[in-house]
Amino acid sequence: MNRQKSHPHHHAAARNHDDEGPVRLYGIHAVAAALANPAREAKSQKVTPRDLDRLLGADTVHQGALLETADLPEPTLEELATASAASGPLIVLDQVTDPHNVGAILRSGAVLGAGGLIMTRRHSPPLSGALAKAASGGLEVVPVALVANLARALEELGELGVRRIGLDGDGDVTIDAAGFEGAVALVMGAEGKGLRRLTRESCDVLARVPAAGSFASLNVSNAAAVALYAAARGRRSAVPSPRLRGEG
């Protein structure tokens, strides 16, 4: 399935959020999902495997499928807050830069009913290339918003009635007891660094994934999947919210 928009551009396989030019998606599942998305624009053109290797690099596993298209429309935070209340938790990423991790999180979000994903314009991977391939179609299902300042975005979400749950190894409660009724945002940091100070302070509660024994580290995409599953279960059972930090 060799499809791309006419007039291929420069040879970079990925792009920054502020770059002009087409978004490049590759891999059968990512391209098929994008072609099925009416919000995407695309034209078909027959090319050879050598053409794809030249455009994407010989080491890129493109599976014979490339789509050059435009960015999807970005939702507003207000739209995401409404979506969270109706469908499922938002995912907020604090400087998670690995495209495979973000793609895997989008894939889990598509399966487990995430209402949307929020990350910063800087210090986050482009919504194309390796991220889209790892998402395996999830990029077409989960709306993504890019913000300039994460702490301000979290503050605005709070004003919109979104409960902000930060994932932290030293969290006050376990993730299954965090409370998931209504609009909720799951806030996650990069591996190693975790949540930055202002991000932590912007959360209503910090929750941890319970670990067996002393080995307490999870890949961020795995932690996101656990949290999304806990949220899906919690919404069904309507677990009451624990007290917020600082409350008497």
Domain with residue 85: its CATH number is: 3.40.1280.10
Give 242's pLDDT tier (boundaries 50, 70, 90): low
Two tokens at 190?
């990069």
- Considering the domain architecture, whether residues 121 and 6 belong to the same structural domain is answered as no
| Residue 18: domain span | 1-72
The answer to whether residue 243 sits within a structural domain is no
- Residue finishing a domain among 72, 87, 103: 72
pLDDT: which is higher, 193 or 168 = 168
DSSP element (H, E) containing 92: strand 90-94
The answer to whether residue 33 sits within a structural domain is yes
- Considering the domain architecture, whether residues 58 and 84 belong to the same structural domain is answered as no
Residue count of the chain: 248
pLDDT: which is higher, 47 or 195 = 195
- Considering the domain architecture, whether residues 68 and 89 belong to the same structural domain is answered as no
Supply angle C-alpha 177, 124, 111, rounded to 5.
45
Can you give the pLDDT at residue 65? 76
Supply angle C-alpha 48, 53, 54, rounded to 5.
95
- Considering the domain architecture, whether residues 166 and 219 belong to the same structural domain is answered as yes
Supply angle C-alpha 181, 182, 186, rounded to 5.
80
- Considering the domain architecture, whether residues 59 and 91 belong to the same structural domain is answered as no
- Considering the domain architecture, whether residues 86 and 201 belong to the same structural domain is answered as yes
Tokens 């009913």 sit on residue: 113
Most confident of 39-48, 154-163, 207-216, 233-242: 154-163
- Considering the domain architecture, whether residues 212 and 170 belong to the same structural domain is answered as yes
Lowest mean pLDDT among 65-69, 139-143, 186-190, 235-239: 235-239
